Each structure stands twice: as structure tokens, then as C-alpha cells.
Amino acid sequence: MDKKNANFRPPIVTLMGHVDHGKTTLLDAIRKTNVVAAEHGGITQHIGAYQITFQNHPITFVDTPGHAAFEKMRSRGAEVADIAILVVAANDGVKPQTIEAIKHIRAAGKSTIVAITKVDLPNINLEKVKKELQKEGVIVESFGGEVPLVEVAAPKGKGIEDLLEVILLVWQLSPQPSLSQDPLEAVVVESFLDKNRGLIVTVIVKKGTLSVGQKIVVDDETIAVKALIDDLGKNVQEVKPGKPVEILGFKEVLEVGSVVCDQTFTKSRVKQQIVSFADIISKSQEARDKFKVLIKADVVGSLEAILANLPVKILVVCSGVGEITQRDISFAKVASAPILTFNVKVGAGVKSQAEREGVVIKSYNVIYELLSDIEDVVSQFEIAKQESKIAGRAKIVASFDIDDKKIAGSMVTHGKLKIGDKIIIRHADGSQSETRIISLKKFKKNVETVASGQECGIGMSPALDFKEGDIIESLG
């Protein structure tokens, strides 16, 4: 690495896309072009991630996440990848898993590069593939967008160097400092039990330095690192940011996305990192009409700015200036509310008490981010609240007349429906209507209730217009 870039860590890259579109073949081709068998003893093993050097710049590739693991990492607060390569086969185009990958990449806010594979096959139509991507919101540079595109034929080595050059160009736009002196933070990308070597945990170091003999903590396990083995099978003494490595010494298989820290980087700090909005929402389910919070800010001006811009669905049960106190924690527990802080340091004692009492603390240093997150939480809370009110749900699959009354032939998909229920009919155009169930029939027999998985005929009053595909939701 040249001196100009010595203080920046390598980019961490993951590949996503549809099955059989060539992700594994592409990763293998990248690795083989950068490993000289005589020099390194060949490709010794698969550890879930590896690092290559291109034009004197290291690049780390993660080759195990997949879509489910990628989302699992994000849900645990472990943003391992910097750049996502969307792999699309030239002969197949955009498929369901391609669209799923696009959604994950977009939600994570990652820089994106499109790699069109299998361009050496006959009768391909690259323009068609680009238009399919455009339809999904991925607009490549040749179509006037900002997403770089590289054409690849991995088995022949075509386009591999072009792809690596584009990765470096994208990384140059937003390189991250090495942070090798920071407290350790490494993300688990693979964990499995090997019959010969025991439990193997592969991590990528994001911050700090990981060393043999170092005491580390992850989830509820603390160990001393017995050995570190790099992607070429070599024992190493320490690992800097951006480097993948296997750790020997754990006794339990770890979840993908777990965050490994120094023992001094306390357990309460780790748990705070992986708090999700789902945790916050679960703490506030007792709130009927409004989402309850406690707010602590650094100064009065900050607090007033936050309070003045909160959504109407937020109920501030307590607010104040200064550090969080044990009284705040107790109050939050009784109110089943999270504590939101702005520019406020959270002491170790308070963190420990919050963990014991099951109180969620979310810290911010940008007011806009706090308000934006609150908007998201309120939206999700409203959805969760609405779902909790629904006693049953059915899909209208047919329409027929009995005694001049329009009957909805339906399949109950959730909960149950009963005579007298107030129901909402949700139409395909987004509109909705309200009515009540006045009759239920199963196999031409009148019944009082119908449960999930059963078909029935539903009579309503007042009579409403409906179509096949409309959804019925019962409010009981």
C-alpha cells in the first residue's frame, strides 16, 4: 500500500444477487488471479472472507453472507460491508432474488456496483438487462445514472481487473480511516464446528487491533484468543482493520453479525450497539394511542428544539437536561418507554442499571437523525398497533348472490371471523370500506365463527361492492 493511503483501511466488499448468476465463480476468479501458488502454497481454505491486493491496494471480499445473513448483520447493528456488488447474469437478467438483493442494498445505503456476468454466452442482450435494472431503480452510468457497471466472464478472466479498478474508484470517494488504535470491533461473518480444529469463528476487523492472547467478549462469552489464522492458512499474531481472520478459542457457535470487542469494551456497550427499533416498539406496546418516550438533552436549547419538532403521536412522559439518572431508568421502566438522549454521556452505572431493568437507551448527536428515527418508529408503531387490533383476516376469492344478496366467498388467512364483527374491506386501489358481518356459511350451513385456513361465505350489512382479491379485516 502506498503511503498516501496507509492510514485508510481496505474496502470490504460483498456480492449479492440471484442464485446461479455466478457470484461464487466470480469470487473464485478474483481470488485466483491474486494468489500465486508457488509463493503462497495455493489457496488453502475457505474461511468465509478473503483479502486480495490489486495495484498495491488491499480489498477484502466477504463470500458467505447471502441475503438472509446480510439482513441479520444489519438487524444486529453490524454494518460489515462498504460496497455491494449486484451480480446479474447476462443470459438471465433481473430475477426475484436480484430484486430482493436490490432492496437489501438500498435499505443498507451501500455504494453499489453492477457486475453483469456470463457476457461470453451467445445471444445475450445487455441493453435488456440494463432496462430491467432501471425498472427496479438501479440506473447504470450508460443510462445516465450513477451506478457503475462492469461486464464479466469470470471463467475466462474477462473484466476481473476492470471490476477491481471500479471498486477502488468507488472507495476513493469515501475511504474510511484505519482506526487501528480504537477499541476493537470485529464482525462475525462465519461460525462453524470443525471436527479436527474445533470451533472456528471468522471475523472481519472494523476497528482496533485483534491479537493472539487478547481477551475478547462477544454476546455472553469471554475468551482469550488462542490463535489467529488468515485466509491463506497462515498463523498471524495480530490483525488490523479491514482484514478477515479465523479466531480459535471460542466454545459456542456465534451468530452471523455478532460484534466482537475488547473485554474492556463492556458488555453493556455491546448490547447498546445492537438495539433495534423492534426492541423500542416492544417496550412501548402498553401505550394505547401514543408512543411514549423519555428525552434527555445537553442544554435547554437542544431540548426545546427536539420537543418542538416531535410528531403528534409521541407522548413525552419525562424530559430534562443533563445526564441520565437512576431515577430516569426507574421511570422509564414503569412507563415502558425508551430513553432518547442528545449529546448526553451515558455513564457505566446507568448503562448497567438500564440493562438489568430492560430499559432501552438510544443516543444521538444530530437532532435531525433523532427526529428522523422517531418518525420511522411512530410509523412502525402505528402498523404494529393496527395489527394488534385485527382479530381475523380473509381474502375474497369469489363473489356470488344468494336471495338477492351479494356474498363474499372468502378464505380466512389469520385469526377468526364471527357474526357481528365490524370489518374493513381493503380494496386493490388502496381505498377501504367499513361494514359488519351478518351471516357466515360453511358448506351451505350457517355458522357463528370461521377460523384460519377455512373457506366461508360472508354476508354483510350494509351491503358493499367488493372484488376478488380484496382483503377483509375483522376488528372483532
Domains belonging to the chain, first-starting first, are 3-172 (3.40.50.300), 185-272 (2.40.30.10), 275-388 (3.40.50.10050), 392-474 (2.40.30.10)
**Model pLDDT for residues 256-296, shown as the tens digit of each residue:** 778 888 876 544 343 334 444 454 555 455 455 678 889 99
DSSP H/E element including 354: helix 348-357
Number of H helices, E strands in the chain: 12, 28
Which element (helix H / strand E) includes 334? helix 326-335
Summarize the confidence of residues 339-368 as an average pLDDT: 86
| CB-neighbour burial class of residue 412 (10 A; exposed 0-12, middle 13-18, buried 19+) | buried
For 165-224, write each residue's pLDDT tens digit: 999 999 998 888 888 888 888 988 888 777 777 888 889 999 899 999 999 988 668 899
* Tens digit of each residue's pLDDT (9 = 90 or more) over 394-436: 999 988 888 778 899 999 888 888 898 888 898 888 888 889 9
CB 259 within 8 A of CB 218: yes
Residue 101 has pLDDT above 60, yes or no: yes
Measured CA distances, 193 to 32, 204, 250, 451, 474 (Å): 26, 19, 10, 44, 48
Q: Are 119 and 26 in contact (CB under 8 A)?
A: no
Q: Are 257 and 230 in contact (CB under 8 A)?
A: no
For residue 267, the model assigns a pLDDT of 41
To the nearest whole number, what is the mean pLDDT of the chain?
A: 82
Confidence of residue 247 (pLDDT cuts 50, 70, 90): very high
More confident of the two residues 196 and 87: 87
pLDDT of residue 23: 85
**pLDDT digit string, tens, across residues 102-130:** 988 887 788 999 999 999 999 899 999 99
37 CB-near residues (< 8 Å, 6+ apart) = none
Q: What is the pLDDT of residue 132?
A: 95
Contact between 204 and 237 under an 8 Å Cβ cutoff? The reply is no
With beta carbons less than 8 A apart as the criterion, state whether 46 and 31 touch.
no
In whole angstroms, give the CA distance from residue 234 to residue 196.
17
pLDDT of residue 64: 56
Average pLDDT over residues 378-387: 65
Say what the pLDDT of residue 144 is.
Answer: 92
Q: What is the pLDDT of residue 142?
A: 93
- What is the DSSP pairing of strand 392-402 with strand 471-474? antiparallel
**Taking the complete model, does pTM exceed 0.85, yes or no?**
no
pLDDT tens for 216-229 read 988 668 899 999 99
Determine the 3-state secondary structure of 425 from DSSP. Answer: strand
What b-and-e string marks burial along 121-160, b requiring 16 or more CB atoms within 10 Å of the CB? eeebebeebbebbbeeebbbeeeebebbbbbbbbeeeebb
Q: Is the pLDDT of residue 37 over 70?
A: no
Measured between alpha carbons, how far is 150 from 161 in angstroms, rounded to an integer? Answer: 10
HEC per residue, 181-233: CCCCEEEEEEEEEECCCEEEEEEEEEECCEECCCEEEECCEEEECCEEECCCC
Please, what's the b/e burial string for 379-409 (b: 16 or more CB within 10 A of its CB; e: otherwise)?
eebeeebeeeeebbbbebeebeeeeeeebbb
